[in-house]
Structure formats: C-alpha cells, structure tokens
Amino acid sequence: MNLLNALLLYMSLLTAGSMQQIPEFTPPPAALVTIAPQKQATIAPILTVPPSSTAVVVPPAVGQTTVPTQTPVIKTTVTMGDRGDNVRKLQKRLIELRYLKKGEDDGIFGNITKRAVERFQNYNNLKVDGIAGPKTLQKLYNDPKVVIGPVDVDTEPKATKTPGPAVTAQVPVIYLDEMGKELARQNLFFQQGVTTMRANAASVPDGYVLISQDSVKVTVSQDGKATPQEVVFIYKAPAPVTDTPAPVTDTPAPATDTPAPATDTPAPATDTPAPVTDTPAPATDTPAPATDTPAPATDTPAPTTDTPAPATDTPAPATDPPGMPADAYVIPASQAAKIARSYDVYLGPGTNYRKAGTVGGGLCRWYGIEDDWVLMGYQTTDGAFHVGYVALAALPSDVSLINLELMDLAVTLKDEVNLTDDPILSQDLLFTIQGGSQVTVLGLFTDNDRYVYIETTYNDKPVRGFIFKSSLGW
C-alpha cells in the first residue's frame, strides 16, 4: 500500500513539472483547421402540413390591418355547414380578395360562402367543388399570384361554372328609342360563362315603354369573346301619346260653343213655341227670326273654319312614311354553306358601293342573286355579323339561289335613324341618317323581322343596310 502511495505521489510531481513547461496555446494553421458546420436558421414555409398533423398553419391575410399575436390555425378542409373561427378567417380572406362582400364574415359556411369559394376556384384554375381543401387554402393564403376577383361580387348562382382562368369581357348595353336614337349607354363587364342582362327602366327617361325583349343572355368564351358584342333594348317614346290629347281637348271647345247658341235659341223658342209649329206666327214675326237667323248662320262658319284647322294638321301625317305595302317584298331565307376563298364584300351589288371588308373561309349565309352579285352574311372573329354582296363566283356550287326581286319604294324619313349592316348580333352603327332624308326601301329581312333593308348614300357613295322597321311606322 505504501508502494502504491509513493507511486501516485511520484506521478503527480512529474505531471506538475511537465505542465510548467507547456507554452501558451497557438492556433493551428488555417489549412489544418476544419470549421464545424454551423446550424443555419431556416425560414419555415408559410404553409406547412406535417405528415402526422391534421392542421395547416396559415399566416395573417395580405392587407390585414391588425396582426394577430399568434399564427392562426385552420383545419385542412372547410366545407358546407361548418361554423366558427375557421370559417370566419376564410370569409375575411375572401372579402379581401373581393369574392365576398363586406359584412359577410358571419362564421357560417352557407350557400353564399360556398358560391364565393366556387368563384375563387374558378378564377384560380382550381377544381370547382365549393370545398376549401388544402389546395384551395394554399392558393388562398400563400400564393403571391392569387387572382383577385375582377368584378363586383354577385352572390347569385351562375348559370355555368366552368373551371378556368379569370376571363371577363366588356359589353356595351345600349338603350334606343324606336327610331334608333340612343337614349343611354353603359359599358359593363361580363364574366366567363352565361349571364342574363335585364333591361333597366331607370336608364331611360320617364314614360318610355320597353318594346323589345326585356333580357338578353351574354356568353363569354374562355378566350374573352362576348356574344353578342352589344346588348340593345328598344323603348317607345311617350311623346306621340301626349300630343294626341291636345287635339282631342280642342274638339270639345267648339262643342261647348255650339250649345251656347243652342241655349240662346230656346229663349225665343220658348216665347214662340206655337209660332214655330204654326206658319202664320213666323210670318208675322219674320223680321225678328230673320235677324236672329243670321247670328246662328254666322256662328256656323266658325265651326266650319275650325274644321280646316284639323285638316291642316292632317298633312303632317301625310308626309310621314307610307304604311307597309301589303305585298312588301321579303328577302328569302338564307342557306348556310362555306365560302371557298377570300372575297371583297361591298354594301351593295357592285364595286361602286362602299366596301365593307373581306370574307375568307368559314360558314356564311346566302340569300339571293342580284345581277352578278350575291347577297350574303358572314360572322367576323370579333363576334359580329355583317350582310353585304360578293361576286357571284363566290357562291358555293352546292347552293341554289333565286334572283332577288327587291322593292323600289322611296320614303322620306321623319326622324334620324341609325343604319347598320349587322341586324343579327351586334347592331353596330355604320352611320346616322338625318331626318328629312330620302331612302329607298328594298325589302323586309327574314332573319330579323324588326329590320327593313334600304339603300341610301354616304359621302357620295351608295350604301345598303338595315334600319328599324318601326322608324317607318311599319
């Protein structure tokens, strides 16, 4: 045991002596130093779904005015019938992105919220099912390319729910009177799919009555093309109705004048009832009745002179366009066939008429032949439809047409009217014909019986097109 203690003492002395000889620590050369890898901070993704978790971590919504103290948690699927904070967070985000209206964050996942989710899915190219699942929530909260609702929120169900990117089209909604004069115009945006546009009576002056259809369905395709390109509503002006009573109230005036002499007559009549029936009495009192007679006689011309006044009013209607002839010519119904190649289109049967454009390929409507020209219609890539003439050589070989027997009825327009070469879809305006102008009526149009086909001139060139039949009083 003493030997062991001595050995331990010796070793401790030896160790102490060696430590006194160790120099201060010197760092090794950099080449020999291996720097241990440092643990770097990583930014966690905004949305993390751990494999073993059933929760999705969602940050505050973009544009949120108050930052929550804790990261909100929402379950991976929110669907119809759910209630609570998860639904309210979802609704607030939909409001920020303009898929819900302010105040609709009631925490209840009902029909309105479901339709908002469907609209969001539609505009963000997601499966449209109305269920806010993981992909929908990821797009809703964390995708910087999330699509904001492009138009005002409409909480009514859509006629179609076609998945696809956000697509809208601007469509003019025009209100016209029966003469074609514009009363109001609105440029509205329609979403992809089918939307029913209804006439708004508040857009026209008081007293105007709608005489066209009260609603039009507008279809917007996936490439943003709207059909029709314009929506037109036609109203009847109240002016003629207010003018009619004036002459009617004038008629009673003379009528009330007549009783006045009539009441004067009874006075002498009551004095001489017997003389009136007896010949002698008038004979003895001849001077008095004779002088009384002229007075009524002079009163009679007055009504007679009143009669010409209405008679002078009659010529005004006489200058109005004549009524529609019983045997008015009707342009034949069209036949559909493709055109083989490109041809120039003119607004009349000849190159002396105004040129409308060029048609090439595609399905056309063919109406009839006039000399060496064919009346036809074609649709353009912008969704409009135009009617004009092409050379007879353009007529497809499998189409058999008859010769047009157009009318030659000269009519003077009472008011200005709009001329169009598209009586089918857009009713795009070519130009306005001033009131008092003379036009030639050629025939009624089968494909839209509200129009008549006419010929006029524009910048010294003959032009054919369509005006409303009602502008002629037909």
Output the pLDDT for position 210.
Answer: 94
Output the pLDDT for position 57.
Answer: 38
Q: What is the largest CA-CA distance in the chain?
A: 194
Half-sphere exposure (CA, 13 Å, Cβ side) for 138?
A: 9
Output the pLDDT for position 200.
Answer: 87
CB contact at 8 A, 269 and 289: no
Please name the amino acid found at residue 151. V
Output the pLDDT for position 179.
Answer: 79
Output the pLDDT for position 320.
Answer: 53
Residues of the chain with pLDDT under 50: 18-73, 151-165, 241-246, 248-318
Q: Locate 108 and state its tokens.
A: 């209840």
Question: Which distant-in-sequence residues (6+ apart) come within 8 Å of 178 by Cβ?
Answer: 211, 234, 235, 236, 237, 468, 470, 471
* Domains of the chain as residue ranges with CATH: 82-142 (1.10.101.10), 168-236 (3.10.20.320), 335-471 (no CATH)
Task: Say whether 49 sits in a helix, a strand or coil.
Answer: coil
Report the percentage of the chain scoring pLDDT > 70.
65
Output the pLDDT for position 234.
Answer: 93
Edge to edge, what strands does the sheet with 342-346 contain?
335-338, 363-370, 373-379, 385-391, 342-346, 355-360
| Residue 174: count of CB within 10 angstroms of its CB | 19
DSSP 60-109: PPTT-SS--SS--EEES-B-TT-BSHHHHHHHHHHHHTTSS-TT---SB-
Output the pLDDT for position 287.
Answer: 44
Output the pLDDT for position 380.
Answer: 82
pLDDT, the chain, mean:
74
pTM of the model: 0.37
Output the pLDDT for position 91.
Answer: 93
Output the pLDDT for position 12.
Answer: 67
Give CA–CA dist 244/365, Å, rounded: 44
Query: 124: which DSSP letter?
Result: B
Question: Which distant-in-sequence residues (6+ apart) come within 8 Å of 350 by Cβ?
Answer: 371, 373, 389
Question: Which distant-in-sequence residues (6+ apart) come within 8 Å of 310 by Cβ?
Answer: 247, 250
Output the pLDDT for position 410.
Answer: 93
